[in-house]
A and B are shown apart, each in its own frame.
Chain A
Amino acid sequence: MADLSVKIAGVTFKNPIIAASGTIGFGREYSEFYPLSVFGGISCKGTTLLERPGNPPPRIAETPMGMLNAVGLQNPGVEHFMQEDLPWLLQQDTVAIANVAGSSLEDYCRMAEILSDTDIDMIELNISCPNVKEGGVQFGTSCESVAAVTKAVRKVCRKPLMIKLSPNVADIAAIAQAAESEGADAVSLINTLTGMRIDIRTRRPIITNNTGGLSGPAVFPVAVRMVWQVKKAVKIPVVGLGGISTWQDAVEMMIAGADAIQIGTVLFTDPYAPIKIAEGLNRYLDENGMTSVTELTHTIQAY
């Protein structure tokens, strides 16, 4: 049995498999399947300063090897999260990550301040949500705005700070460098790719938001490429996500450059995926004579 533990931004995860924000809520529903301790960590549903109702339905469309969603950051607000969900999550023997979204620089800072006074293990800054009108991805698509929001939040954030990057950019490595240069402790990528489906009978988009975020196996090769590019450009830890659904995908993502991974959409297909991925990862490490999963990261033999 190899050692699956990884250290990201000073936080120890018992394994490198983290539940991706937005796919597991605050963890309660999936704790009916298994103890949440099967995950190295859980990145909670994106929270905002005030409650958000989210987008009108339909919010979901299936796509070839994936899905679109436009939930629109429906959440009960950060205070509710801190009072109702966080105390429970902190007892589940897994790293708790708050995913923070805002519609202004002030929102992001205020939330980082508030959450710094809790026992949350890490803050993931969501500057990449494609499904809200204000904020979200508008902070994540230029080096200047990524630097500005990272810098502002860094000043007030007393927790390890991970910036979640959008793939809807020309040069993701430059974006990651902008985050790193302003004090980010880690980056996670990729958030969803903006996509669209249209009902050819009614000629209306299937999702009421018109566009949604594409996730699932369809985006996996894009995610692998971007993680590889980012890993070469930064020194801080890189958390890779986007369409990982098997242990082989997890291994591939780590070889590309990920220090840890997140899984999301696969939970909808197979809730037991985290357990299967951990088992497969362990077998692979044993078979390849590796004693720690950290030996796998960025072992790519690129041409």
Chain B
Amino acid sequence: MFKKVLIANRGEIARRVIRTCKRLGIETVAIYSEADKDSLHVKEATESFCIGKPPVAQSYLNIEAILDVAKETGTDAVHPGYGLLSENASFAKRVEEAGLTFIGPKSNVIQTMGSKLEARKAMQQAGVPIVQGVNEPIADTDEASKIAEEIGYPVMLKASAGGGGIGMQLVNNEEELRKAFEGNQKRAQSFFGDGTMFIEKFIAEPHHIEVQVLADAYGNVVPVFERECSIQRRNQKVVEEAPSPFISEETRKKMLDAAVDAAKHIGYTNAGTIEFLVDRDQNFYFLEMNTRLQVEHPVTEEITGLDLVEQQLKVAKGEKLAFTREDIQKNGHAIEVRIYAEHPVTFFPSPGKITKLELPEGEGIRHEIAVETGSDVTPFYDPMIAKLVVFGATREEACTRLADALRGYVVEGIQTNIPMLLKTVTHEQFLSGVTTTKFVEEYYLPKATTVGK
């Protein structure tokens, strides 16, 4: 096994990786920005190095500084976590070129799946269902209008390099399309340095359901079930659960098969997630692949008993997966909620000092958390401060435990989305198990009071 792993990340995911490394007897190297000097991941790693100023461009995205620390410390592998540099193909390449192991797939695979258009093409070749649309970049508004006419409105306008909903817009008719095309193109260009646009048919009221896969370097791909992540705000997930309460066993089998085909076709290695949109008739379509560990990986761990970080480390070290698809059984039900430092109604960020923190304890409750009483939540990074994960023998039990846990979760000094989470997970529509990506809009915030732009 590796002797020393550098974690190129911060917050709860850095702590999560350190925890598994410790259990496996692996030394850890933490990096941090000046804003994070008192963070828990800095204290818990074997060694810690400050690599720059608070803004991510000057610290957590500074590839040179991170590689320097890796070399100085004699690190033999780099875990990128999620977000930040985790899906940056040139970072993975630089790590490979430095003679270190990148804990993830090969850089060329990250590159392919990082382009939504390239990924569409690859998935079509792999025989994975994709949403009706185009596989070539659209040059201008006139071409976009012609294509949208052929596909039939409503359509989704998408940026090939996009993420987090940026450069993406639903358009209902030609007038809307003409208004939206250039703006989104420019936005994609300024955010991602790539204004490549394409169009897909709009899927109404979809479920967002994703399949976790593990793949070793010997061509073995094992799907480890799905996660339903339909409840989102600002195109970011808020509640995730496994298994999906919506799909049938038949659909589950088809989706897992498709995920295996997808991973095999592109020569995927390590842990990865294939995201699908699922319509009300349980037809499913490839949405994108995340070539890294997901924020919501704990729900899969809870129902399978696997430690996904351990599997990542083993596969990256060149070990064969020690199990087959048939060996992995799912048991019970797990739900994760993301605790954000934000206003529960407007979703505006709420940085500040946490003056009091009390975590609920009890059977089936797991915390993944980056803060403690006295922590400063700074405006420099993502607002997610913690994840609360609950497990139950049944979904009903998990829902009850989750609501109880949220009622006992105390964060003072900053605002959090806990009231929104509690309202969501006790809503009859959520309890019924049929949740779509429209949930927050339809049930949580009546349209008239939605704030933001």
Partners in one complex: no
Chain A residues close to B by CB (< 8 Å): none
Chain B residues close to A by CB (< 8 Å): none
